[in-house]
Amino acid sequence: MKHKFDFVGLNTVISEAYKPLNHVTASTARKAGMEAAIKGTTPSNCHHSYFSTKELEKEWYRGYRMGKQNRTA
């Protein structure tokens, strides 16, 4: 059995994933962290732009902790 791998498609996905998000603020990083804790991690709520500075990373983790505390089981 042979499998054909789509390298062009993979390159497109990787390129899109590494584009920086526009207008990332402490508030949007915190909201993304909360979403990750409540709904699970996704490429959009764990985007590398939320970790590009110490302040944004701190806010993302703050939101994550808040989401874990407020999550309904």
> Are 38 and 67 spatial neighbours (Cβ–Cβ below 8 Å)?
yes
At residue 7, the pLDDT reads: 67
**Containing domain of residue 59, as a range?**
22-70
Task: Give 15-34 as a 3 state SS string.
Answer: HHHCCCCCCCCHHHHHHHHH
Residue 16 within a domain: no
**Would residue 6 count as lying in a domain?**
no
pTM for this structure?
Answer: 0.74
Total domains in the chain come to 1
| CA 73 – CA 69 distance, rounded (Å) | 10
Is 63 a member of any domain?
Answer: yes
Q: How many CB atoms lie within 10 A of CB 6?
A: 9
> What's the pLDDT score for residue 16?
67
If you average pLDDT over every residue of the chain, what do you get? 86
- Quote the pLDDT of residue 66: 96
What pLDDT, in 10s, does the model give residues 11-36?
666 666 678 888 899 999 999 999 99
pLDDT given at position 43: 85
